[in-house]
Structure 1
Amino acid sequence: MLLAKTLRSSTFRLALIAIATFGLIVAAIMAYVYFGTLAYVERRVGTVVDHDGFTGMIELAMAAVAALLLVLAGLAAVLVTRRTVGRIEQINATSRAIMLSGLDQRIPLRGSNDEWDRVAENLNQMLDRIETLMGEVKQVSDNVAHDLRTPLTRMRGRLEKAFHAPRNSEADAALIGDTIADLDAVLGMFASITRISEIETRARTGAFRALDLAEIAGEVVELYDAAAEQVATRLSLDGDRAVAITGDRDLLFDAIANLVDNAIKHGRKGGQVTVSCRRADGGALISIADDGPGIPAEQRDHVFKRFYRLEQSRYTPGNGLGLSLVAAVARLHGAEVALQDNAPGLKVELRFRATSAP
Structure 2
Amino acid sequence: MKTDSKLRHSIVFRLALGYGLLFLFSIVIISMVFYVGTAGLLARNNDRQIVTIAHQLEQVHDRSGNAALVQAIHTLLTDDKDVETEVYLLLDSHSKKLIGNLTAWPTLPDANDTLIKLQVQRLERASNSRLLVHRFDDGGLLVVGRDLQEQRQLERTILSALVIGGLLGLLLAMLGAALFRAQLQARLASIQQTTHDVSGGNLSRRIVVAVTAKDELANIARDVNRMLDDIERLMDIARNVSNTIAHDLRTPLGRIRSALEETLQQPSESQRWQSAAHYAIDEIDTLIGVFEKLLQIAEAESGVRRQQFERLPLRPVLNDLVELYQPAAEAQGMQLSMDVEGDPAVLADRDLIANVLANVLDNALKYAGNGAHIRLSTRQDEHDVHIVVQDNGPGIPREAMTRATERFFRVDDSRSQRGNGLGLSIAAAVVSLHRGELTLEDAQPGLRVCMLLPKA
**TM-score, with length taken from structure 2:** 0.66
Which structure has the greater CA radius of gyration?
2
Deviates more, 1:184-193 or 1:142-151: 142-151
Q: Does 1:138 align with 2:239?
A: yes
Between structures 1 and 2, the one with greater strand share? 2
Alpha-carbon distance change, 88 to 251 in structure 1, aligned in 2, over 3 angstroms: closer
For residues 156 and 172 of structure 1, what CA distance do their matches in structure 2 show? 14
Identity of aligned residues (%): 31
AA aligned to 2:162 is M
SS at match of 1:292: coil
For residues 278 and 125 of structure 1, what CA distance do their matches in structure 2 show? 32
Give the one of 283, 308, 314 matched to 1:182: 283
| Cα drift, residue 320 of structure 1 | 0.9
Alpha-carbon distance change, 61 to 285 in structure 1, aligned in 2, over 3 angstroms: closer
Match of 2:163 in 1: 63
For residues 260 and 18 of structure 1, what CA distance do their matches in structure 2 show? 66
Match of 1:295 in 2: 396
Give the gaps of 5 or more residues in structure 1.
Answer: none
Contact 2:24 2:173 in 1 (8 A): no
For residues 240 and 324 of structure 1, what CA distance do their matches in structure 2 show? 25
Between structures 1 and 2, the one with greater helix share? 1
| Cα drift, residue 77 of structure 1 | 1.5
Contact 2:28 2:166 in 1 (8 A): no
| Cα drift, residue 176 of structure 1 | 0.8
Alpha-carbon distance change, 16 to 54 in structure 1, aligned in 2, over 3 angstroms: closer
For residues 168 and 306 of structure 2, what CA distance do their matches in structure 1 show? 67
The one-character-per-residue Cα deviations of 1:290-347 (angstroms, maximum 9, x if unpaired) are: 2211123343332222222222895542111111222234344555544333332123
For residues 12 and 281 of structure 1, what CA distance do their matches in structure 2 show? 51
Equivalence map 1:161-180=2 (5 Å): 161-180=262-281
For residues 82 and 301 of structure 1, what CA distance do their matches in structure 2 show? 44
| Cα drift, residue 38 of structure 1 | 4.9
SS at match of 1:347: strand
Deviates more, 1:29-38 or 1:322-331: 29-38
Contact 2:306 2:434 in 1 (8 A): no
Match of 1:14 in 2: 18
Match of 2:230 in 1: 129
Contact 1:275 1:286 in 2 (8 A): no
Equivalence map 1:268-347=2 (5 Å): 268-269=369-370, 271-277=371-377, 279-281=379-381, 286-311=387-412, 314=415, 316-333=417-434, 336-347=437-448
Contact 2:35 2:159 in 1 (8 A): no
For residues 263 and 421 of structure 2, what CA distance do their matches in structure 1 show? 32
Give the gaps of 5 or more residues in structure 2.
Answer: 50-81, 86-145
For residues 210 and 166 of structure 2, what CA distance do their matches in structure 1 show? 36
Deviates more, 1:146-155 or 1:42-51: 42-51
Number of equivalences: 350
For residues 86 and 127 of structure 1, what CA distance do their matches in structure 2 show? 20
The one-character-per-residue Cα deviations of 1:215-249 (angstroms, maximum 9, x if unpaired) are: 44344334334433443x22232435985635444
For residues 15 and 446 of structure 2, what CA distance do their matches in structure 1 show? 62
Match of 2:107 in 1: none
SS at match of 2:402: coil
Give the one of 24, 32, 36 matched to 1:28: 32
The one-character-per-residue Cα deviations of 1:1-60 (angstroms, maximum 9, x if unpaired) are: xx9766862213322431342243134224314532652575565435852754554343
Alpha-carbon distance change, 202 to 235 in structure 1, aligned in 2, over 3 angstroms: farther
AA aligned to 2:19 is A
For residues 149 and 342 of structure 2, what CA distance do their matches in structure 1 show? 103
Alpha-carbon distance change, 187 to 63 in structure 1, aligned in 2, over 3 angstroms: same
**TM-score, with length taken from structure 1:** 0.82
The one-character-per-residue Cα deviations of 1:160-214 (angstroms, maximum 9, x if unpaired) are: 3334444222221121111111100100001111123323425165374654x44
Match of 1:86 in 2: 186
For residues 284 and 101 of structure 1, what CA distance do their matches in structure 2 show? 41
Q: CA RMSD, aligned part only? A: 3.3
SS at match of 2:204: coil
Q: Does 1:239 align with 2:339?
A: yes
Contact 1:243 1:278 in 2 (8 A): no
Match of 2:200 in 1: 100
Deviates more, 1:63-72 or 1:196-205: 196-205
